[in-house]
Each structure stands twice: as C-alpha cells, then as structure tokens.
Structure 1
Amino acid sequence: MHYTAGAVRGSASAPVEETVPVGAGGRPEDDTAPGPAPGVAPRPSAGPRRVRLAISRIDPWSVMKLAFLLSVAIAIMTVVATVVFWSVIDSLGVFDNVQTFVTDAIGEETNFNVMQYVEFERVVSLATLVAICNVVLLTALATIMTFLYNITAALVGGVHMTLTDD
C-alpha cells in the first residue's frame, strides 16, 4: 500500500495473519472457540507491527517555518543568557578587578575605562545583533539543506526507516 501524508510519501504493508490448522468440527486444534472463517483461524501476532518507510522528499516551506521559529527561540535564549551572564559577572566585581589591574599595569595617567567597552547596553546590543544574524543564517541554512536533501534523495531514494508500534 502506497500513501502520501503531507509532504511524506511512503509504503506500508499490513501484517499477514498466520493460520493454524483446523481440527475436526471446524475448530482450531489448540483453541475451543470457533474461528471467524471455517477452516482458518487467526493467530495473535507475536510482536509489534513493523512498517518500513522512506523519506523521499521534505517540504522546504515547512522546514523554513520550523527553522525560523526554532532560531527565534535560540535568539531569545542568547539575549537572555547574555543579560544573566553580564549581571553575574558585574555582581561578582570582575569589571572592577579588571579596571584595577589595567590601572596598575598601565599607570594612573591613562584614562582607560573598561566599562566603556563592556557596559550593559553595548553588550546587550551586540548580543541582539548576533541573535538576529543567527536567525537569518539558521533559517537560510536549514532551507538550503532541505533543497540539497531533496536533490540527494531523488538520486539515492531517501532515508529508509522502520517504525514499530510498541
């Protein structure tokens, strides 16, 4: 049986029921209940049903939408993690220690201030810019990879999987 579900095409076959020999009186030899058809009684399956599928094509539009949503989630996590990391570093006094070290190493006459370069607004702006670039790049990369998979799957037949129902 061949089918198409969304953008996935595949084939599946129903499990073949095993038969048991029928004894006298039209009943199975090892069971006392009558079977559904005279002369043949179904035997319960021994294990889970297996279906072999092949992913031969992936819809690029759906991959692009999913990649965009996942990359937006990653971008939000990036900005939040940057804010948390900067807050922890600042509360530990790391920036003050670095400023003290730089002042001791260079001297008092220089007007070098570490906080000019790592102030909160600047760091969050940089993290936001990196996150936006990642959204664009990850979305484009996932879509391009989908097109490459479809071309490759057309040549070699796609990825074959066996699914079971446990």
Structure 2
Amino acid sequence: MSQQPWSPGNLSSPQPPLDAPGRKPSDIPAPRSPRKAHLVLRRVEPWSAMKFSFVVSLVCFVVLFIAVAVLYMVLSGLGVFDNIIQTVNQLTTADGKATSGVDVASWFEPVRILGYTALIGAVNVVLITALSTLGAVIYNVASDLVGGVEVTFSEAE
C-alpha cells in the first residue's frame, strides 16, 4: 500500500516543521493559554482528615523527640546542666548547709526530660488528631450552610 501525499483528510502524514522556509505564519499554531478549572470544596471526609492529621502529628512528635534528645546531648556535653545545678546549690546553701530538700540534679536527668517530652508529644498527637477531625465536621456543617470554598486550579505553562 503506497502512502498518499499530504492532504487535509490524511492526518497520518508528517507536518512540515515550524521553521520550514515555505510555511506561512498562519500555519503556526497559536500558543495555548493555560486551562482553568473552578471547583468547589463542599465536603471534607472526617475519617480521611483524622488519618491524615494523625500521621502528620505523629511525624511531628518524632521530630520533636529527636530534636529534644539532640539538644539535651549538646547542652549536657557543654556542661550547661552541671553549671545550673552548681549555681542552684550555691544559692540554696546557707553556711555550708542545704536549706531545701530539693534535689536539683534530678530535674535534668535525661530520663525525666525525655519522659516529659514523650508525654507532651503523645498529648499533642491526640489533641491535634481530635481537633482536626472536629474541624472537618465543623467545615462540613458550615459548607452545608454557605456552599463550600471555591478553588480555581490553573494548568502550569
């Protein structure tokens, strides 16, 4: 089967290049403007919001815990906690005798610092997850009243 020369009905034939010497300016396609889509966000699924916020808050908890552990190691290595303990002991000692029954050194133990960090992080995970889920439910109620949030998406150029 022989191939026929280019004709408007024959789309399989190759087009002449854009910079061909015999090509007319009207043959060059105009640049296409980006497409736009107008959408309305009417509902946020609470279960999906809960799963997403749980994962994000869990990642933030891990980052917080590692940051506190590294910061503790750096400050401990620099001797900051030893200087604080020494200063507090000097201020609470009168004539060589301790006036308070408070053990300041126990405040700066790594188990205590990291334990409090873990406790605060766990509470944050629960609170952020619960508040995000509640926020999704409140958004759905408000969206039923006012129609949602209008969003415009545009195609990248």
**TM-score, with normalisation over the residues of structure 1?**
0.71
Specify the alignment match of 1:61 in structure 2.
47
Q: Distance in 2 between matches of 1:145 and 1:112?
A: 44
Is the partner of 1:57 in helix, strand or coil? coil
1:117 aligns with 2:107: yes
Larger proportion of strand: 1
How many Å apart are 1:112 and its aligned residue? 4.5
- Structure 2: which 5+ runs fail to align? 1-24
Does residue 102 in structure 1 map to residue 88 in structure 2? Answer: yes
Q: CA deviation at 1:44?
A: 4.8
Which structure ranks higher in relative contact order (CA pairs < 8 Å, sequence separation ≥ 6)? 2
Q: Which structure would you say has the larger Rg?
A: 2
Count of matched residue pairs: 128
Normalising by structure 2, we get a TM-score of 0.74
Unmatched tracts of structure 1, length 5 or more: 1-29, 34-42
Residue 114 of structure 1: CA displacement?
A: 2.3
Q: Identity across aligned pairs (percent)?
A: 32
Confirm whether residue 71 of structure 1 aligns to residue 47 of structure 2.
Answer: no
Match for 1:153 among 111, 132, 143? 143
Note if 1:84 corresponds to 2:70.
yes
Task: Call closer, same or farther: CA 1:136–1:163 in 2, change over 3 Å.
Answer: same
Pairwise CA RMSD of aligned residues?
A: 1.9
User: Once the 2 structures are TM-superposed, how far is the Cα of residue 126 of structure 1 from its aligned partner?
Assistant: 0.8
Q: Is the 8 A contact 1:99 1:113 kept in 2?
A: no
Deviations 1:79-109 (A, max 9, x none): 1111111111111111111122122222231
1:27-38 aligned within 5 A? 31=26
Runs of 4 or more, structure 1, over 6 Å off, are none
Normalized per residue, the structure richer in helix is 2
- Residues 94 and 32 of structure 1, relative CA distance in 2, 3 Å threshold: closer
Q: Deviations over 1:131-161 (max 9, x none)?
A: 1111110000000000000000111111101
